[in-house]
């Protein structure tokens, strides 16, 4: 398999004729062999970014490089990319084997591969994806997960420098999505192709990515490992987008080791004691702690509980503010408890996107 390539977006902007800016001055590097997930809500620019890389959208400004070579003006077929999209786009009248090999056979005369080379590439993809028993079947006889594996195999037989995937699991049910997430991660660990994957699903991002690039409003908000983005979000948007339930965010003022928002006063953890000025205080639901009534905590009223089995989401009111806590306990009969904060974050107002 041909060596993977790095991908660089250098000040890349996409502006449409009506003035709409879909992607705004994107600076992003994807290392060779990396699995990067472009994550964000609908309309954030993630699919537009992928389409510019694929050559399906023109770049308004900036430069895209693959393996150090500028590709802005190259047609899609000359960029060395494999693409897998939300729609499987399999040929219904062809068998799995024919679907896998068709793209290799339908090339210009001077670029055609020998039949033995085509067969070798197909066998390699079949072995990697576990499609042996399905080779003689047609798409109508396959499950959704099997069809998606065929679509991935069709991209891999081209031995791409970079593999692009745009919401490839969105047509599958929840159980199949879970299975395919595991399969995709194992597949990447085996073939090591540079992969750029677009999704709005934070679970896919957290489980698949080496690094994630969080986008909002066409701008890059954070580029980091999934756990870094989760525990050390760059701004309030990233904090609220990652996590279920999302991070609790409260606007207020910090100073003298305390955070104050109306009647709410919280003693800040040591790592935040130096914060000052208008800010947003953030804490993950699982980091909210129950403490003894005589400890340095704040009183909270339990408004409701969502019992999820092994854990429960508690809806609390704290000095007029609604927050959520995620706890593995069922013994909170009293309506009032005292809380303290563990690993919290503070976003100065200037850092909020």
CATH number of the domain encompassing residue 129: 3.40.50.300
Q: What is the pLDDT of residue 110?
A: 59
SS3 category, 282:
strand
In a domain, 2, yes or no: no
CATH number of the domain encompassing residue 282: 2.40.50.140
Domain that holds residue 309: 244-351
Claim to verify: residue 220 and residue 201 sit in the same structural domain: yes
Query: Into how many domains does the chain fold?
Result: 2
User: Could you tell me the two tokens for 339?
Assistant: 């809380």
Claim to verify: residue 271 and residue 204 sit in the same structural domain: no
Per the CB < 8 A criterion, the answer to whether 314 and 302 are in contact is yes
Return the C-alpha torsion angle 346, 349, 351, 353, nearest 10. 110
In a domain, 1, yes or no: no
End of a domain among 184, 208, 235?
A: 235
State the Cα–Cα distance between residues 82 and 96, nearest whole angstrom: 18
Claim to verify: residue 91 and residue 212 sit in the same structural domain: yes
SS3 category, 247:
coil
Q: What is the pLDDT of residue 175?
A: 85
Closest CA to 206 of 236, 230, 183, 234: 230
Q: How far is CA 290 from CA 275, 294, 352, in A?
A: 24, 12, 29
Claim to verify: residue 56 and residue 147 sit in the same structural domain: yes
In a domain, 50, yes or no: yes
Claim to verify: residue 200 and residue 333 sit in the same structural domain: no
**CB within 8 Å of 146: residues ≥ 6 apart:** 131, 134
In a domain, 66, yes or no: yes
Claim to verify: residue 210 and residue 65 sit in the same structural domain: yes
SS3 category, 291:
strand
Q: What is the pLDDT of residue 174?
A: 84
pLDDT, mean of each 10-residue run, the chain (353 residues):
82 97 98 97 97 97 97 94 86 94 77 84 88 93 89 88 92 84 89 94 96 98 97 95 93 95 89 93 89 72 88 91 87 65 84 53
Claim to verify: residue 269 and residue 141 sit in the same structural domain: no
Longest dimension (CA), the chain: 82
User: Could you tell me the two tokens for 342?
Assistant: 């563990």
State the Cα–Cα distance between residues 180 and 149, nearest whole angstrom: 9
End of a domain among 212, 235, 258?
A: 235
Claim to verify: residue 72 and residue 167 sit in the same structural domain: yes
Q: What is the pLDDT of residue 26?
A: 99
């Amino acid at each position: 398999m041909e060596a993977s390539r790095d991908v660089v977006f250098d000040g890349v902007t996409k502006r449409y004729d009506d003035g709409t800016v879909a992607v705004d001055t994107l600076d992003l590097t994807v290392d060779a062999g990396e699995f990067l997930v472009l994550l964000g809500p609908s309309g954030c620019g993630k699919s537009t970014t992928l389409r510019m890389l694929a050559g399906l959208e023109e770049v308004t400004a900036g430069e895209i490089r693959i393996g150090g070579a500028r590709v802005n003006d190259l047609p899609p077929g000359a960029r060395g990319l494999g693409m897998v999209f939300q729609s499987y786009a399999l040929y219904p009248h062809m068998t799995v084997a024919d679907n896998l090999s068709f793209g290799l056979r339908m090339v210009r005369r001077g670029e055609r591969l020998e039949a033995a080379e085509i067969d070798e590439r197909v066998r390699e993809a079949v072995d990697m994806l576990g499609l042996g028993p399905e080779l003689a079947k047609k798409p109508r006889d396959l499950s959704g997960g099997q069809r998606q594996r065929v679509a991935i195999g069709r991209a891999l037989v081209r031995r791409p420098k970079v593999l692009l995937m745009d919401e490839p699991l969105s047509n599958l049910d929840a159980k199949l999505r879970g299975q395919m997430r595991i399969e995709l991660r194992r597949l990447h660990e085996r073939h090591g192709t540079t992969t750029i994957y677009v999704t709005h699903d934070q679970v896919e991002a957290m489980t698949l990515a080496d690094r994630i690039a969080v986008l909002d409003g066409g701008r890059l908000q954070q580029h980091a490992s999934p756990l870094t983005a989760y525990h050390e979000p760059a701004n309030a948007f990233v904090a609220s987008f990652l996590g279920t339930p999302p991070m609790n965010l409260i606007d207020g003022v910090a100073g003298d080791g305390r955070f104050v928002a109306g009647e709410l006063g919280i003693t800040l953890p040591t790592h935040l004691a130096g914060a000052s000025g208008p800010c947003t205080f953030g804490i993950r639901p699982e980091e909210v702690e129950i403490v003894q009534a005589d400890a340095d905590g704040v009183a909270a009223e339990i408004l409701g509980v969502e019992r999820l089995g092994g854990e429960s989401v508690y809806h609390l009111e704290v000095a007029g503010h609604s927050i959520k806590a995620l706890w593995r306990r069922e013994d909170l009969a009293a309506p009032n408890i005292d809380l303290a904060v563990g690993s919290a974050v503070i976003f100065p107002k200037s850092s909020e996107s």
